[in-house]
Structure 1
Amino acid sequence: MALTEKEIQHFRHPIAVPGMGLAMQEKLKTSRVLVIGAGGLGCPVIQYLSASGIGVIGIADYGVITDEDMHRQPIYQMQDLRKHKAKMASSRLWATNPFTKHYPLLVQIKPENVVQLITEMDLVIDCSQHLPTHLVVNDACVLHEKPFVIGEVHNWVSWWAGYNIPQPDGAPSASYRCSAALTETYRNFDAGAMGVTHGATGLLMVNEILKYLVAVPDGLVNKLYSMDYLHNQFRSHHLTPDRDLIAQTKAAGILTAEDYGLEIVPDVED
């Protein structure tokens, strides 16, 4: 899909980056991405995906903006309190980049709707920071052969990883379930959330996502990254696909909300 003259002017600086050019910017324009969660982690992800020129961004979030969100979700303003995050995020993003199509989806990700939401997407990015949602996304994406990314931030430490990423030789790549023991070591449910660690993690995720979308090899395939912002310690882990576990996931299909431990919330009345 060719860029218009206005788009070429708008994106002339990234186009000028060595290795990018018009062809790579056009790849971004044809990309369709679903971002789950427009909170502390989802906000920087959708802001920079949009600013980078992704063609279609679906924003799935049924929540509303609260005062305590503001320190780590600066896409919103005080006048937005009690309004739906997905709708306000779409409005703000369009105001800075009208070339991207932003679709607010006021839904909870659950077994009944996940397949419909991921079907037309090239990549799914789960920023919910919610274990049951991660499992729903994992099973649906593995079953329907969709690549996906998951990230979490816990106090000073964060992690993010690419899953189910296609490999040139057809070999399977790791699923989220394959990395469960590792991701559990990074979980810390002590109270509190730093705005800057969410923002920094979101940008690191987007950097890898953009490289994946323009076909830079290896950045997300079987990789889990972590960052300890307090001690400035960055780590890269290699993930090993568990073929038996992946086969079991495909055989079992998408489970019930009860199986996932997912509490279903009432549908949003817009």
Structure 2
Amino acid sequence: MALIEKELAHFKHAIAVPGMGVAMQEKLKETRVLVVGAGGLGSPVIQYLSASGVGVIGIADYGVITDEDMHRQPIYQMQDLRKHKAKMAASRLWASNPFTKHYPLLLQVKPENIKQLLEGMDLVIDCSQHHATHLVINDACVAHGKPFVIGEVHNWVSWWAGFNIAPASGDAAASYRCNLDMIDDHRNFDAGAIGVTHGATGMMIVNEVLKYIAGVPDGLANKFYSMNFLHNTYQVNTLFPDAGILADIRAKGVLTAEEYGIDIVPDIED
């Protein structure tokens, strides 16, 4: 998809980066990404996806903006309080990059709608930080052959990983379900959330996603990244596919809300 003259000017510094160029900027423009969650982690993700020139961003979030969340969701403003995150995020993003199509999806991601949400999308980034939602997205993406990224932030520690993305070696792609034990080791559910750790993690996720779109080999494929911001320790671990688990996911497909343990919220009447 060719860039218009205004886009060439808008993205000229990104285009000038070695290895990027006009062709890569055009590839970003052709890419469609679904982001689940527009909160502390989702906010920087959608901001930098948009700023980078990703062509279509679906923003799925049924929540509203609250005062206590503002410290880690700087995409919003005080006048946005009690308004829907997805709608206000789309408005703010358009104001800084009108070349990207930002679609607010004021809904809960659940078994009944996940297939429809995946249609036409090239990649899913799950910023819900909600285990049951991770499982829904995992099962649907594996069943429908969609690559996806999940990230979480817990106090000073964060992690993010690429799933259903086969490495260049030809090995099978790992899923979220295949690596639950390792993922659980990186969780800390003590109270508290720091804005900067969410922002830094979101930008690291987008950096890897941009490399993936650009065709950089194995940046996300079967890789699990973690960062301890308090002690400045960064780790990269390998994700391992489990053939039995993958076969079970493909055989069963997406389960019911009750099986996932998801409390269904009423649809929003906008």
Q: Normalising by the residue count of structure 1, what TM-score does the alignment of the two structures yield?
A: 0.99
TM alignment of 1:101-180, pairs within 5 A: 101-168=101-168, 171-180=171-180
Corresponding residue SS for 2:159: strand
Shift of residue 172 of structure 1?
A: 2.1
Shift of residue 95 of structure 1?
A: 0.2
Corresponding residue SS for 1:269: coil
Corresponding residue SS for 1:102: strand
Residues 1:187 and 2:190 are matched in the alignment? no
Unaligned runs of 5+ in 1: none
Residues 1:86 and 2:94 are matched in the alignment? no
**Matched letter for residue 103 of structure 1:** Y
Whether the aligned pair in 1 keeps the contact of 2:168 and 2:217 (CA below 8 Å) is: no
What corresponds to 2:35 in structure 1?
A: 35
Shift of residue 243 of structure 1?
A: 1.0
CA RMSD of aligned residues (A): 0.8
Shift of residue 169 of structure 1?
A: 6.4
Number of residue pairs matched by the alignment: 270
Residues 1:230 and 2:230 are matched in the alignment? yes
Shift of residue 147 of structure 1?
A: 0.1
Residues 1:67 and 2:30 are matched in the alignment? no
What do the CA deviations read for 1:150-175 (whole angstroms, capped 9, x no partner)?
Answer: 00000000000000014456542100
**Matched letter for residue 68 of structure 1:** E
Whether the aligned pair in 1 keeps the contact of 2:167 and 2:222 (CA below 8 Å) is: no
Unaligned runs of 5+ in 2: none
Whether the aligned pair in 1 keeps the contact of 2:175 and 2:241 (CA below 8 Å) is: yes
**Matched letter for residue 159 of structure 2:** W
Separation (CA, whole Å) in 1 of partners of 2:229 and 2:123: 27
Shift of residue 179 of structure 1?
A: 1.3
What do the CA deviations read for 1:102-159 (whole angstroms, capped 9, x no partner)?
Answer: 0000010000000000121000000000000000000000000000000000000000
Separation (CA, whole Å) in 1 of partners of 2:264 and 2:191: 24
**Matched letter for residue 213 of structure 1:** I
Q: Normalising by the residue count of structure 2, what TM-score does the alignment of the two structures yield?
A: 0.99
What corresponds to 1:250 in structure 2?
A: 250
Separation (CA, whole Å) in 1 of partners of 2:24 and 2:55: 12
Corresponding residue SS for 1:247: helix
Taking every aligned residue pair, what percent have the same amino acid on both sides? 73
Corresponding residue SS for 2:109: coil
Corresponding residue SS for 2:199: helix
**Matched letter for residue 180 of structure 2:** A
Separation (CA, whole Å) in 1 of partners of 2:167 and 2:142: 14
Corresponding residue SS for 1:151: strand
What corresponds to 1:240 in structure 2?
A: 240
Separation (CA, whole Å) in 2 of partners of 1:170 and 1:62: 38
Separation (CA, whole Å) in 2 of partners of 1:243 and 1:22: 40
Shift of residue 211 of structure 1?
A: 0.3
Shift of residue 48 of structure 1?
A: 0.2
Which moves more between the two structures, 141-150 or 169-178?
Answer: 169-178
Corresponding residue SS for 1:91: helix
Separation (CA, whole Å) in 2 of partners of 1:213 and 1:37: 21
What corresponds to 1:204 in structure 2?
A: 204
Separation (CA, whole Å) in 2 of partners of 1:206 and 1:216: 14
